Amino acid sequence: MDIATPIATTKQEALTARYGAATPAAGPWNEHIALLLSHRSIRGYRPDAPPAGTLETLVAAAQSAATSSNLQTWSVVSVTDPAKRAAMAKLAGNQKHIEQCPIFLVWCADLSRNARMAEAEGRVLEGLPYLESFLVAAIDAALAAQNAVVAAESLGLSTVYIGALRNDPEQVAQLVALPPGVMGVFGLCVGYAAEGVANEVKPRLPQASVLHHDTYATEGEASLRAAYDGEMAAFSARQGMDNDNWSGRVLQRMGSIRALNGRDRLKAAVRALGFPLK
């Protein structure tokens, strides 16, 4: 496969790459799990187009994801127009890979299709305006997109999610002509990694931080976080990044309204796009 860096050849190597010193016990294993653990975000792409039919294959994988009550409350827009891509790259903080990648997708929470169906049937969907319905649609979109990501990576393609489309979801909606009741919740770049782009697998929190048994427990959380901060600081140094650890990143990213990059008004934007959120 043509990927940025090779998949670890053993489960121990894969687990160590993902967890560092906090490697959990190695249980059942196969090539699919190895692929999942090899995931990393790639932010530089060659212009080479994937084989014909790749987009349709990724959407088939996406449509095979779970969807709440089979409501299928999501859609995806493939954006090829260079001007539209440039505008999205700008609103997303000048992320140039949006313009570079051969496939760029806007994943949408979409209640409009079901609303049109109900109107055609002469019915009113009383549950449609509620927060639950928007949440279902956003989750449906995320599940579908993740299936597409796994499929893409299995084909030797690289990916990166673009959550910064939520910096201005109304402009995104205008760019791709979304009707009321549809919101682009995130973007996705897909393509072959550019020469020299070979990110490591990024370490994750120790499983003891996220896996609880019967009851939620916080004992030992401080020491687990300290160890993970060390792993992330070492990772950042290897990547030539600023001396950055996890605690510092969280405090920076969530510590001020300014860091939300306009997403502090997201509730108003979602409502303006046709989701009342009752």
- Does position 242 have pLDDT exceeding 90, yes or no? no
- Does position 3 have pLDDT exceeding 80, yes or no? no
Q: Could you tell me which residues come within 8 angstroms of residue 160 by beta carbon, excluding any fewer than 6 positions away?
A: 41, 42, 43, 97, 188, 189
What proportion of the chain, given as a percentage, has pLDDT over 70?
96
- Does position 243 have pLDDT exceeding 80, yes or no? no
Contact 21, 208 (CB under 8 A): no
Predicted confidence band of residue 93 (pLDDT cuts 50, 70, 90): very high
Encode pLDDT of 168-186 as tens digits: 999 999 999 999 999 999 9
Local structure of 201: helix, strand or coil = coil
Phi, psi of 52, rounded to the nearest 5 degrees? -55, 140
Predicted confidence band of residue 1 (pLDDT cuts 50, 70, 90): very low
Predicted confidence band of residue 7 (pLDDT cuts 50, 70, 90): low
Predicted confidence band of residue 199 (pLDDT cuts 50, 70, 90): confident
Predicted confidence band of residue 6 (pLDDT cuts 50, 70, 90): low
What confidence score (pLDDT) does residue 187 get? 98
- Look at the block and give the residue holding tokens 């790639």: 42
Domains of the chain: 1-38 (no CATH), 41-194+251-273 (3.40.109.10)
Q: For all residues of the chain together, what is the average pLDDT?
A: 94
Encode pLDDT of 120-129 as tens digits: 999 999 999 9
What confidence score (pLDDT) does residue 239 get? 82
Contact 150, 61 (CB under 8 A): yes
Encode pLDDT of 28-78 as tens digits: 999 999 999 999 999 999 999 999 999 999 999 999 999 999 999 999 999
- Does position 2 have pLDDT exceeding 60, yes or no? no
* Measured CA distances, 1 to 16, 75, 137, 153, 189 (Å): 22, 29, 33, 9, 18
Predicted confidence band of residue 241 (pLDDT cuts 50, 70, 90): confident
